[in-house]
Structure 1
Amino acid sequence: MPHAPLRLAVACATLAAAATLAAPVAHAAPADDIRINEVVTTGSVDDSVELFNKGAAPVDISGWILKDDNKSSKFTVPAGTTLAPGAARAFDVHAAFGLGSSDKARLYLPDGGTLVDEYGWSAHSAPSWSRCPDGTGAFAKAPLTLGALNSCGSGGGTSPVAWPGGSAVATADGSNVFGEDLSGLYQEGAVLWGAQNSGKLWRLVRDGSGGWRPDTANGWSSGKSLRYPGGAGSPDSEAVTLTGAGAAGGAYVATERNGDASGTSRLSVLRYDVAGGTGGSLTAAKEWNLTASLPAVGSNLGFEAITWIPDATLVGAGLKDETTGAAYDPSRYGPHTGGVFLLGVEGTGAVHGYVLQDSGTATRVTTFASGMPGVMELQWEPQAARLWLVCDDTCGGEHRTMKIGSTGTFAPTAVHARPSGMPDLNNEGFAVAGAEECVGGTKPVYWADDSNTGGHALRRGTLSC
């Protein structure tokens, strides 16, 4: 069991397949620094064991062995796997052995005989057995946060406070314009972009009464169907964002699977050129497939949220790069979009930050827990320099805000209930207006209801500036 103090930090992974990562240099460090940190035996993800480095130096754990309570069981950590200080890595072990309701997770050095750490339980995880604090504390039932800091305490231990804006909420679309499955939102001035799960992207313009309607120009009147690079497939589009270049730089869509192969996870970010063209479909100019770099989740429990934060903002706030253990340095990654994309996973509630390089490779630079069972939307609000994390009716429409704290990772700043005038809707989209729309101390915000309750998918509220 652990003895040394923990220095909180963020999760680390060595990206593979289409997402690649330059691994940090490993230094000699005692095996005692590596601990089993989280165990999942049932639920939305496959049986998994997470390891955590509670020490002060990187540790190469290539060839280390995980077992259950059966001596013949064996999962070998892949070659080239290094854990940075304060970093975590989750391993899907179900193909090697199953974790039962009364079982153990055991960690050995590559010799297979030197026991490093173990944890035993007498009931299935619900949904996770997690150390609190990470790497040093006792195990307890907690929300699933594989690959991220553990969520200690119910819902992060914080009760929601009142919505920081008006209580009234109104519909912001016509009757049955979109139907079900309207998900992610992103406002760009006089345009509201919307991602629909059926593989469709919408460009919405103001309707003159505080709401939005489909743009009728350039083939956007019914939304545009999305395709993977090459023109095939039907991406399950869950969220959309733009970079500092605006629409001229392309729309970035987060997807969790190909609708033509809906039983298989495909956690990708796709870039679409949306500034021109009049056709009814869009073919992705580039895909960053990040599936191999993340813990396995169900095919309908993958990426649900995406937002982009400029490099200058992250450097100024002191973001810590999990690949190096040092301050984030954008120049290390060559040509990219000038920022980091944060992606929220429904099945784990974790948020992962990637640099998407122009070459088509990707580097994960930060990971943290949302503190919610699932994160359905992310929005960076430049005016307040804060990150919004939104949950749907799974957790009563809870909204959280985070900022980069003293440890160099995102830390909670507030937990808010939904506006009192809004029912507990299946809101999977959230957009915040820019500072230029502040009037009388408030500005508009918008939600997308995946269920199209009452024939309306969009709703409008206010937020204090």
Structure 2
Amino acid sequence: MTEVRAPGWRRRLALLLAAVAGPALVAGTLMASPAQAAPADDVRINEVVTTGDVNDSIELYNKGTSAVDVSGWILKDDSNSSKYKIASGTTLAAGGFRAFDVHGQFGLGSKDQARLYLPDGSTLVDGFSWSEHSAPSWSRCPDGTGDFRAASLTLGAANNCDGGSDGGAGTSPVAWPGSDSVTTADASNVFGEDLSGLFQEGGVLWGAQNSGKLWRLVPNGSGGWKPDTANGWTSGKALRFPSGSGTPDSEGVTLTGAGSAGGVFVASERNGDASGTSRLSVLRYDVGGGAGTLTATKEWNLTSDLPSVGSNLGFEGITWVPDGYLTGAGFKDASTGAAYDPSRYGSHSGGVFFVGVEGTGTVHGYVLQDTGTFTRVASVGSGMAGVMELQWEPQASRLWMVCDDTCHGQHRTMQVDASGVFATTAVYNRPAGMPDINNEGFSVAGADECVGGSKPVYWADDANDGGHALRKGSISC
């Protein structure tokens, strides 16, 4: 695919002709873009997702050196009657990416266009056409200037121009790195549906349930888990936002280096009492005491900082990575372009929280400061259609990313590479003994449970298939 762009007087002539004849489209190519006064001309359509099963999205990228206010700009498909108006107050930072899920206004078909206009609705800024659905993404390579090509989904982050659909690892999926045997790890119908995020803290397994509930589980004596019956945990505890109201759609759970004494952190994609609206938040809970309802002591609402997604396509997984690993590995802070320096953020958790977005398949890293402010320091494409769980494994210094039956139970691992960014190190199929079910939670046991070269791992099945929500397997230590 080639870019049609006229330099100098030819480009000015193209603008004049466009004004007279209207925008022209060359099938399978970029459309000619009229000249705009800088910095508007720096904004480009950078990625398009047309699959519809996850979302229909158009990502914009600012390849310039100054921010651009894109308030009121209009996205269209191949019909002039289809319009998505970008919300007031939307700014695209220099080098910034922002994706817009347009499916609420129009769908992107297998043979269609994505077009960007100034607020007048008639001045074309950029456009791209295609003749088949994305698989899963049409992405510019390199960002902002190159031709479009099939690539992995990276909405809200730099395009993956090197690794194709395998997410940059340059590897194909391989067999599960442990036993193929998988067993149930709970009694029949203890949790019902919607058990999602998991995190093991020694002899306790924390579980987040979508209905706004947190579970504290203890060993059941048979290699599995059961609800703790002490301190009001028998049926789990209800979660609330800091106001004491609302029902967080709790999808993921993690702890910091301080353990549960430092608070339990839950990722929520919306308020279940207003389920049609995204509310991409990380919530901190004090789990001491016997109260049956837990009110968040802090909320970091990240919605405005992330690409818009459907209200049920937001945060699914969360994990915490210590500053010590990041600085030692030479992690690059995307907000500064320099080596990550924890001291510039003042008092925070001593690490970075990584959250996975189902609707974009992207993992974002945030420093969540104790003051309630936050800074995004990373955005990484997972290479999967959706991210359902994240888990940091200290023993192997690797970040696990998990997809459910949308990706047939694929797992990926990442580590910081020589360029300072997280990159895929392995792609694993699910264990042969694991049915292709809706696993939305994954937890890895600590090094202290390594016996004979392997240790346990656990999955949470959101659908409670066969009356069981927890399953147990193993991985190599």
TM-score of the pair, normalised by structure 1: 0.84
Q: 1:342 Cα shift?
A: 0.4
Residue identity in the other structure for 2:379: T
Q: 1:463 Cα shift?
A: 1.1
Q: 1:155 Cα shift?
A: 4.2
* Percent identical residues: 72
Which of 153, 157, 165 in structure 1 is aligned with 2:164?
A: 153
Q: 1:426 Cα shift?
A: 1.4
Q: Matches of 2:408 and 2:285 in 1, distance apart? A: 33
Once the two structures are superposed, what CA deviation does each residue of 1:142-185 show, in whole Å capped at 9, x if it has no partner? 45421023355334364211111112122111121111111110
Match of 1:408 in 2: 420
Which of 181, 184, 198 in structure 2 is aligned with 1:168?
A: 181
| Secondary structure, counterpart of 2:466 in structure 1 | helix
Q: Matches of 1:80 and 1:394 in 2, distance apart? A: 32
Q: 1:266 Cα shift?
A: 1.2
Q: 1:271 Cα shift?
A: 0.7
Match of 1:285 in 2: 297
Q: Matches of 2:120 and 2:66 in 1, distance apart? A: 16
Which of 328, 349, 365 in structure 2 is aligned with 1:316?
A: 328
Task: Check 1:79–1:313 CA distance in 2 against 1; reply closer, same or farther (3 A cut).
Answer: same
| Secondary structure, counterpart of 2:328 in structure 1 | helix
Q: Judge conservation of contact 1:60–1:80 (CA < 8 Å) in 2.
A: no
Q: Matches of 1:340 and 1:454 in 2, distance apart? A: 37
- Whether 1:463 and 2:460 are equivalent positions in the alignment is no
The answer for unaligned runs of 5 or more in structure 2 is 5-37
Deviates more, 1:148-157 or 1:433-442: 148-157
Q: Matches of 1:404 and 1:323 in 2, distance apart? A: 16
Larger relative CO (CA 8 A, sep 6+): 1 or 2? 1
Q: 1:313 Cα shift?
A: 1.3
Which of 85, 96, 119 in structure 1 is aligned with 2:128?
A: 119
Residue identity in the other structure for 2:470: L
Which of 274, 280, 299 in structure 1 is aligned with 2:311?
A: 299
The answer for unaligned runs of 5 or more in structure 1 is 4-28
Task: For 1:56-455, list aligned pairs within 5 A.
Answer: 58-62=65-69, 68=76, 81=91, 83-85=93-95, 87-91=96-100, 104-105=113-114, 117-122=126-131, 125=134, 128-151=137-160, 153-156=164-167, 158-274=171-287, 276-455=288-467
Q: Matches of 1:357 and 1:375 in 2, distance apart? A: 25
Residue identity in the other structure for 1:368: V
Q: Matches of 1:254 and 1:237 in 2, distance apart? A: 6
Q: 1:270 Cα shift?
A: 0.8
Deviates more, 1:121-130 or 1:242-251: 121-130
Task: Check 1:147–1:63 CA distance in 2 against 1; reply closer, same or farther (3 A cut).
Answer: closer
Q: Matches of 1:176 and 1:46 in 2, distance apart? A: 33
Match of 1:39 in 2: 48
Q: Judge conservation of contact 2:388–2:401 (CA < 8 Å) in 1.
A: yes
Q: Judge conservation of contact 2:199–2:253 (CA < 8 Å) in 1.
A: yes
Once the two structures are superposed, what CA deviation does each residue of 1:207-256 show, in whole Å capped at 9, x if it has no partner? 22211111110000111011111211111111100011110111000011
Q: Matches of 2:408 and 2:233 in 1, distance apart? A: 33
Residue identity in the other structure for 1:173: D
Residue identity in the other structure for 1:228: F
Deviates more, 1:256-265 or 1:188-197: 256-265
Q: Judge conservation of contact 1:45–1:296 (CA < 8 Å) in 2.
A: no
TM-score of the pair, normalised by structure 2: 0.82
> Considering only CA atoms, is the larger Rg found in Structure 1 or Structure 2?
2
| Secondary structure, counterpart of 1:331 in structure 2 | helix
Q: 1:269 Cα shift?
A: 0.8
Q: Judge conservation of contact 1:52–1:89 (CA < 8 Å) in 2.
A: yes
| Secondary structure, counterpart of 1:154 in structure 2 | helix
Q: Matches of 1:116 and 1:408 in 2, distance apart? A: 33
Match of 2:13 in 1: none
Q: Judge conservation of contact 1:270–1:286 (CA < 8 Å) in 2.
A: yes
RMSD value, Cα: 3.1
Q: Matches of 1:80 and 1:213 in 2, distance apart? A: 47
Residue identity in the other structure for 2:454: T
Residue identity in the other structure for 1:130: S
Q: 1:354 Cα shift?
A: 0.8
Residue identity in the other structure for 2:398: R
Q: Judge conservation of contact 2:152–2:384 (CA < 8 Å) in 1.
A: yes
Once the two structures are superposed, what CA deviation does each residue of 1:34-77 show, in whole Å capped at 9, x if it has no partner? 643112456267764323356xx843333596665789979679
Q: Matches of 2:426 and 2:62 in 1, distance apart? A: 28
Task: Check 1:311–1:453 CA distance in 2 against 1; reply closer, same or farther (3 A cut).
Answer: same
Q: Matches of 1:440 and 1:41 in 2, distance apart? A: 47
Match of 1:18 in 2: none
